[in-house]
Every structure is written in C-alpha cells, then in structure tokens.
Amino acid sequence: MAPPSDLREWIALLEREGELHRVSAEADPDLEISEIADRVVKGGGPALLFERPRGSRLPLLINQFGTERRMCLAFGVQSLDDVAAKLEDVLELQPPQGLVEKVKGLKKLKSIADSMPKTVSKGACQEIVLTGDDVDLDLLPIQRCWPGDPAPFITLPAVITQDPRTGSRNVGMYRMQKIDRRSTFMHWQVHKDGRMDYLATDGRLEVAVALGLDPVTAYSASAPLPKHVDELMLAGFLRGEAVEVVQGKTVALEVPANAEIVLEGYVERGDEGIEGPFGDHTGYYSPAEPFPVFHVTALTMRRDAIYPSIVVGKPPAEDAWLAKATERIFLPAVRMTVPEIVDYDLPVAGAFHNCVLVSIRKAYPGHARKVMHALWGLGALSLSKSIVVVDEWVDVHDYEDVFFRVCANVDPKRDLLLTEGPLDQLDHSPTLACYGGKLGIDATHKGPSEGARDWPEEIAMNEETRALVDRRWSEYGLPAAPSAGVVQNGRRGRALRTLRR
Ligand SMILES: Cc1cc2nc3c(=O)[nH]c(=O)nc-3n(C[C@H](O)[C@H](O)[C@H](O)COP(=O)(O)O)c2cc1C
Ligand SMILES: [Mn+2]
C-alpha cells in the first residue's frame, strides 16, 4: 500500500486500522495534553486527536508515530527493514550487465528522478493567508510540555531553509519556543544543517516551517542526511511519489503544498535571545541558551487545519520510533562506508546518541577499533558517546546477549578505548558543552594477535545430540519446548531469564 499523501489521509488510515482515538473532551495544551499523551505512549496506545484543545479552534494530533506498527503503516511496509532494502537497492546500483539489468537499472534511476519535489501553482496549505499584524500564533494549540518549560513549544515542525551559497534546500525538525504572537526561537543545535545555513549569511535568512504533513515527509525532516541532500527528495523517494511544493507568500522558498499549516518568516544574524530550558528527549531539561529569533511574516493554513505535536521526555517517548526508523533506514548507507558492519542498535534508553551496539565481521587485529573510529567520523553517528563492538553472530538487539559478551570478553585494561570528540549538544554530562569523552568497548573475540591468550571455544551442544533430543522429546513427558534449546531467535527463553534475576 502506498504511504498516505497528506495528514488527512494518514488520519483516515489510522482510524480505519483502529489506531486513532478521538478525544472530544476539552483538554489543555498547557501540560494536561502532555500527561495524557505520555501515559498513552508509554502504554503503547493509539494516536490521539484532541478535538477541543483549550484556547484554540484547531484540533491537535499527537502520538501518530508512537508504535512500530504505526511507523510501518506510515511507510506502507511490513517491517522498517523493507524501507532500508528499498534504499539499499538504489545505493548498490552497479553498472548493468545485460538488457534485463539495464531496464531494471533505468527503473531505479527513474525512481530517483521521480523523487525530486514538484512545483505546483496552488496548495491547500494556503487556503487561508494571514500576513503582517494578522499573524497570530495564539491561533495554534501549541503545547507547553513540562512544568519547567518557560513557554509553549512547537515540537513537530519541518523547518525549511536554503544554503545562501549553493541554494540547496534543507529541511530539519527543530523545536520552536513561542516568544509572542509573531515570533519564536529556532533551536538549531551547533551540528545541524539549519544552523549552517544561518551561519552562512551575514544578514537575513528566510525560513519556512511546515506543520501537519504526510507522515513520511514529517519523518524525513528528522533524518540525518548529508548537508547537500534535500530531505524532501528523500521523502519523495520513500513515498514513491514526489512531494508537491508551492511558492511561499512572503518568502522566496517553496513549501509543501499538502501541509496543514505553514509559518513563513526570517531570522537575522545577531538577533538571538535566551531559549529554554526545555524538557528534552534525554529525560532532563536542556539548559537555557542563546538561539536565533524567528520572525513570522505569514501564517498560512487550510480552512480546517489540524495542528501536529509530539512530546519528548524520559525515554521511551513518542520520538523513539522516529529514531528507530532512522536506525533501520540508514543501515545500508552506513554499510556503504563501513561494509564489515552486520547490524547495529541504538538503544532508546541511550537517547540514541549515548550508545551504539554494533556487530562486525571481524577480519584483523584492531578491527573493532577501526569500526569505532569510522562511526565517530560518520554523520550524526559521530556524536555517539559510547560504542560497543561485538562479533557477527551476536544479535545486537538482544541487550542481554550484548551484556553477556561485554562481561565475558572484555579485559578493561586491554579492550576499552577512551578518547574524546564532539558530543550531542543536549548531553549534560560532559564538562564542556558539545565536547567530551567517548568510550569504545571491544567485546569481540580476541586472540594472541591482539595480545590475548588463546581464546576459548564458546559452549554449544552438538547437532547430533540436539537432533536426538528433538526426536525423543515426547518420550520425556515434558511440555512442548523450543527445539533449539534455550536460544530462540537470538533471544533467551523467558523462563531462564526469570531464573537469572
Ligand atoms: C521530535 C524531534 C525534535 C527535535 N528537536 C530538535 C531541536 O530542537 N534541535 C535540533 O537541532 N535537532 C532536533 N531534532 C533532531 C533533528 O531533527 C535531526 O538531527 C535532523 O537530522 C536535523 O536535520 P539536519 O540534519 O538537516 O540539520 C529533533 C528530532 C526530533 C525527532
Ligand atoms: Mn539536512
């Protein structure tokens, strides 16, 4: 099934699939909706459409991304690895051999060409156009998420800018603290592409913010693409349908035609104020710091616009599945640079930038360290604080198995790599902001070539005995048991797990 083409189609799909709950009771965007959403998210519950947010005529949608099933529905796939496979197919494009291959290759190239955003002359996002004094952010049910937040924050925006030097477009998801009816802060962290566009001007930079998009385009705003790659192209590729864009009313930027709401405006170098604190996805408040002020010159929207929101906080929160989608979708791209990687997992509890578990096909001494350094040099993964490397046969999604390897295979003196480098701006633990220590743990098998003694063999029952026990199981008078002993899909049986605690 094709992914939904706008927010309405998405809401209708969620409703058909029993994945949406409408809240008709009035609820307050000031904290109350946060608490409701947080409980529903942590309980694995449905998306919520608040039909009467207090103080606004616009309904508020939240928890659209809160489960793996909804994330798969958004992409029109069975599993997020299917999305990765689609990308891998294109990344691994080889010079075609025969005619059949050539035709296939052309199809793939066409799928890339068709991904480019398409300019259209009219968009539903501009049914209502408010400019100048008529701009009023008070119309929107913007949430104040946590008690320590000083103001309401727009939390699920797609922020569009253009590199003043190259004209290339960037779309990123950056929270926006409301200042007054016509301005917000723009939370461009130091490592992000939006900030690079801002730093590349010494004057004014136009900005457009799209709210209420089809889910794949909304996701794409959070995707860590290289600076020069347009996130709307990724959205078009993943949807299998180009994103339609329409000329902004007061800025020379194109905006997604299907958006529910668009804010147009500008930031200016030197025009900054103190943003935050904000209850962040680290589980802590990120500190108040200077960020640019975004001046809104136009607020355009659909006649019956719906406002999208998300609450981040102590993990797991709704953003967990946005980040898991990135983990899965970007694995083939990571493998393009580091092909010995079999799989990786960024635990939700590690707020994603704090910990990477990675399995590799180890081929030479120091290979685990080579992979650590590669990841510390690779895009958004460069901000990872700790990396655990295990052998190819370890299931990195089975945290207990990874823990077993770390405990069993690591000589702390020999196998820990302590280094330093850039860290995520939101990490409060390092002494300096954005810079500090990094830990690599080599939990792979080692041997004399890496200064270890002869490495012992891992225990496993032989095939012959397993087959015998499989055959004779019913004779023992025991209840049905998994045939492969205690290990099931790489995960240990529940009974054993309970015993170990
Ligand atoms: C819900 C949510 C909120 C986010 N808020 C911010 C933010 O306030 N500031 C920021 O720099 N990144 C934020 N991010 C992460 C960026 O969206 C992400 O790093 C993205 O790749 C940025 O786009 P860019 O690579 O084009 O800069 C957020 C991500 C999500 C999912
Ligand atoms: Mn980008």
Residue nearest to atom 13 of ligand 1 (CA): 174
| Residue 107, CB-side half-sphere exposure with 13 Å CA sphere | 9
Report the pLDDT value the prediction gives residue 246, as an integer from 0 to 100.
Answer: 98
Do the beta carbons of residue 300 and residue 264 sit within 8 Å?
Answer: yes
Q: What is the rounded distance in angstroms from the CA atom of residue 219 to the CA atom of residue 169?
A: 16
Q: What angle do CA 328, 333, 335 make, to 5 degrees?
A: 95
Which atom belonging to ligand 1 lies closest to the Cα atom of 156? 1
Q: Is 191 helix (H, G, I), strand (E, B) or coil?
A: coil
Mutate to test the pocket of ligand 1, among 41, 175, 383 (most ligand atoms within 8 A of CB): 175
Report the pLDDT value the prediction gives residue 104, as an integer from 0 to 100.
Answer: 78
Question: What's the CA-to-centroid distance between 226 and ligand 2, angstroms?
Answer: 6
Q: Is 280 a catalytic residue?
A: yes
Question: What's the CA-to-centroid distance between 40 and ligand 1, angstroms?
Answer: 23
Report the pLDDT value the prediction gives residue 100, as an integer from 0 to 100.
Answer: 80
Report the pLDDT value the prediction gives residue 452, as an integer from 0 to 100.
Answer: 96
Burial class (CB in 10 A: 0-12, 13-18, 19+), 200: middle
Low-confidence stretches of the chain (pLDDT < 70) are 482-501
Strands (E), 351-445: 355-360, 386-391, 416-422, 435-442
Report the pLDDT value the prediction gives residue 483, as an integer from 0 to 100.
Answer: 59
Do the beta carbons of residue 306 and residue 212 sit within 8 Å?
Answer: yes
Report the pLDDT value the prediction gives residue 484, as an integer from 0 to 100.
Answer: 54
Contact 352 CB / ligand 1 (< 6 Å) = no
pTM for this entry: 0.95
Report the pLDDT value the prediction gives residue 482, as an integer from 0 to 100.
Answer: 66
pLDDT digits (tens, 9 = 90+) for 141-199: 999 999 999 999 999 999 999 999 999 999 999 999 999 999 999 999 999 999 999 99
Report the pLDDT value the prediction gives residue 481, as an integer from 0 to 100.
Answer: 72
Report the pLDDT value the prediction gives residue 485, as an integer from 0 to 100.
Answer: 47
Q: Which two tokens stand for residue 53?
A: 């947010």
Which atom belonging to ligand 1 lies closest to the Cα atom of 173? 17
Report the pLDDT value the prediction gives residue 446, as an integer from 0 to 100.
Answer: 97
Q: Angle of helix 68-75 relative to helix 80-91, nearest 10 degrees?
A: 40
Neighbours of ion ligand 2 (CB under 5 A): 170, 193, 225
Catalytic residue among 280, 319, 427, 442: 280
pLDDT digits (tens, 9 = 90+) for 435-464: 999 999 999 999 999 999 999 999 999 999
Q: What percent of the chain has pLDDT over 90?
A: 89
Identify the nearest ligand to the CA of 313 by its number.
1
Report the pLDDT value the prediction gives residue 497, as an integer from 0 to 100.
Answer: 47
